[in-house]
């Protein structure tokens, strides 16, 4: 938890927020341009491929017609000679829609038959040639004019197609990018509003589509939930700490004031200063404990989770209190022990176990015993501290986990009333739970339960 200056430093000024608006506009424009360029590029590729395919299939068709004619004429020539060929060509020329040019050359390259002599222009014709058995050559030509005409019209309409493609691309690009950046706009407007007002209870309503933007919106809302929870936790923690520290600080001030108001007396001053030091120490210990509790309760306590066995934590905590227990003539020992692996912050769990043993030793008179069990039950790792001490009155039992609560019979014993609150906060921060059973005059049983490591 830090003071207010951290917050001021992280709030952007109005100019940088305005810049963000510009950027989202520019992003839309860039997206539209990319979309348009891509659309135009691919449409052009499609048109070009269509043009090339049409042109080559028209050429192929002409070639096939010429080859079939050549075959046909060669057969007629072989069977009936030049006269029969001339008659066939003549008859075909009258009925056929397509004009075909036919030329027969004798061995000396003299044209002996020529149909459509006036149109015989090899540069405007697709010509096929085949040699006949008697050494003559037959040539069939087909005008490329019709084919060129189709392709010319195709090219002429390209201008119109280009214009339509650009128009469709621009409109489509604009409409699509607008609808694509709409949810982003809503997100950034919510963020801007939160920055401007400092309110974290604002949420962005998600769209109907199950897409990436919607996922981002849901994640953003979940992040706001988390931030809001943390901010509230921090606020509550700050309120609690300031409230809880007020009493000891007022007492500290009162002691000093009393000493100053009385007649000057060195001994009295000494006593007042010693009291102040003691009280200040108490306040410092209290402050640390309160901060730990608040951190754990609000979910910001850093937990260094590692795999270990609860038995290790129990043994270390027992060792810590061995001497105190001996001095108090108490038996402090291990009871039921079974492996209980957990994935947790070793130091914090040891601290929780130590707090329970500290209480058990504190509230058990000489001659009594404190036993620490470790086992697993239904997938939970259990650490139990049993004592034969004074016990807790049924009316007090529900309140012992509260911050600063101290039992009536415990007031004379040292303590701040924060030990059990810290235990509860630490264990719950690990996803565990705590429980206490007690019979006044007979003893108490405190149980910590943590998820067992699989």
Residues that bind ligand ADP (CB under 6 A): 359-360, 363, 387, 389-392, 400, 405-407, 410, 415-421, 444
Compute the least distance from the CB of residue 416 to ligand ADP, in Å. 5
Compute the least distance from the CB of residue 10 to ligand ADP, in Å. 36
Cβ proximity to ligand ADP, 113 vs 448, nearer residue: 448
Max distance between CA atoms of the chain, in angstroms, equals 155
d(CA 10, CA 140): 87
- What are 384's strand-pairing partners? 373, 447
Cβ proximity to ligand ADP, 100 vs 382, nearer residue: 382
Compute the least distance from the CB of residue 293 to ligand ADP, in Å. 10
Compute the least distance from the CB of residue 292 to ligand ADP, in Å. 13
d(CA 9, CA 294): 24
Q: Which two tokens stand for residue 213?
A: 């933007």
Compute the least distance from the CB of residue 419 to ligand ADP, in Å. 3
Cβ proximity to ligand ADP, 128 vs 419, nearer residue: 419
Helix (H, G, I), strand (E, B) or coil at 306: strand
Compute the least distance from the CB of residue 218 to ligand ADP, in Å. 41
Compute the least distance from the CB of residue 358 to ligand ADP, in Å. 7
Nearest one of 166, 181, 172 to 28, comparing CA atoms: 181
Angle at 26 between CA 20 and CA 29, to 5 degrees: 150
Cβ proximity to ligand ADP, 141 vs 417, nearer residue: 417
Cβ proximity to ligand ADP, 66 vs 330, nearer residue: 330
Compute the least distance from the CB of residue 426 to ligand ADP, in Å. 13
Q: Which two tokens stand for residue 316?
A: 């270390």
Where are the strands (E) in 286-388, listed by range?
Answer: 305-309, 331-337, 341-345, 369-377, 380-387
390 close to 409: Cβ distance less than 8 angstroms: yes
Q: Distance of CA 183 to CAs 26, 28, 211, Å?
A: 15, 12, 11
d(CA 302, CA 295): 8
Dihedral of CA atoms 236, 237, 242, 248 in degrees, nearest 10, equals 130
d(CA 217, CA 204): 7
Cβ proximity to ligand ADP, 233 vs 415, nearer residue: 415
CA atoms within a 13 Å half-sphere pointing along the CA-CB vector of 100: 25
Helix (H, G, I), strand (E, B) or coil at 21: helix
Cβ proximity to ligand ADP, 104 vs 420, nearer residue: 420
Cβ proximity to ligand ADP, 311 vs 390, nearer residue: 390
Cβ proximity to ligand ADP, 183 vs 443, nearer residue: 443
Per the document, the length of the chain is 454
Cβ proximity to ligand ADP, 142 vs 424, nearer residue: 424
d(CA 26, CA 31): 8
Cβ proximity to ligand ADP, 173 vs 391, nearer residue: 391
Strands 125-131 and 137-143: antiparallel
Annotate 371-394 with b (16+ C-beta within 10 A) or e (fewer).
bbbbbbeeebbbbbbbbbbbbbee
Cβ proximity to ligand ADP, 298 vs 390, nearer residue: 390
Compute the least distance from the CB of residue 192 to ligand ADP, in Å. 46
Q: Is the dihedral of CA 192, 197, 199, 203 positive or negative?
A: negative
Nearest one of 391, 373, 237, 209 to 300, comparing CA atoms: 237
């Amino acid at each position: 938890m830090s003071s207010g200056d951290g917050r001021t430093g992280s709030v952007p000024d109005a100019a940088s927020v305005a810049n963000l608006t510009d950027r989202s506009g520019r992003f839309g424009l860039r997206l539209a341009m990319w979309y348009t360029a891509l659309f135009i590029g691919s449409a052009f590729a499609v048109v070009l491929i269509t043009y090339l395919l049409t042109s080559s299939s028209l050429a192929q068709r002409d070639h096939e017609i010429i080859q079939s004619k050549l075959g046909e004429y060669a057969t007629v020539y072989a069977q009936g000679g030049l006269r029969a060929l001339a008659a066939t060509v003549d008859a075909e020329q009258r009925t056929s829609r397509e004009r075909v040019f036919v030329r027969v050359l004798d061995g000396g390259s003299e044209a002996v038959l020529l149909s459509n002599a006036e149109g015989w222009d090899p540069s405007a014709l697709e010509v096929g040639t085949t040699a006949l058995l008697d050494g003559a050559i037959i040539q069939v030509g087909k005008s490329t004019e019709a084919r060129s005409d189709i392709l010319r019209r195709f090219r002429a309409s390209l201008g119109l197609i280009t214009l339509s493609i650009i128009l469709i691309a621009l409109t489509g690009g604009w409409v699509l990018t607008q609808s694509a950046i709409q949810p982003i706009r809503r997100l950034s407007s919510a963020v801007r509003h939160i920055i401007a007002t400092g309110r974290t209870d604002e949420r962005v309503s998600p769209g109907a589509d199950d897409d990436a933007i919607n996922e981002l919106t849901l994640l953003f809302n979940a992040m706001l939930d988390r931030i809001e929870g943390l901010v509230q936790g921090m606020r509550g923690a700050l309120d609690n700490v300031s409230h809880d520290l007020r009493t000891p600080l007022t007492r500290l001030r009162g002691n000093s004031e009393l000493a100053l108001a009385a007649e000057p007396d060195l001994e009295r001053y000494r006593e007042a200063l010693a009291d102040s030091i003691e009280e200040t120490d108490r306040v410092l210990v209290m402050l640390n404990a309160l901060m730990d509790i608040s951190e754990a309760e609000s979910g910001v306590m850093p937990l260094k989770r590692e795999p270990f066995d609860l038995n290790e934590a129990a043994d270390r905590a027992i060792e810590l209190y061995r001497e105190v227990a001996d001095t108090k003539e108490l038996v402090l020992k291990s009871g039921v022990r079974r492996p209980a692996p957990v994935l947790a912050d070793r130091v914090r769990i040891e601290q929780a176990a130590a707090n329970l043993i500290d209480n058990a030793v504190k509230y058990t008179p000489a001659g009594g015993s404190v036993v620490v069990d470790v086992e697993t039950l239904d997938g939970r790792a259990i650490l139990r501290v049993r004592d034969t001490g004074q016990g807790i009155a049924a009316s007090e039992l529900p309140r012992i986990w509260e911050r600063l609560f101290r039992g009536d019979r415990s007031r004379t014993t040292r303590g701040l009333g924060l030990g059990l609150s810290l235990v509860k906060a630490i264990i719950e921060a690990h996803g565990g739970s705590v429980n206490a059973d007690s019979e006044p005059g007979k003893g108490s049983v405190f149980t910590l339960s943590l998820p067992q490591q699989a």
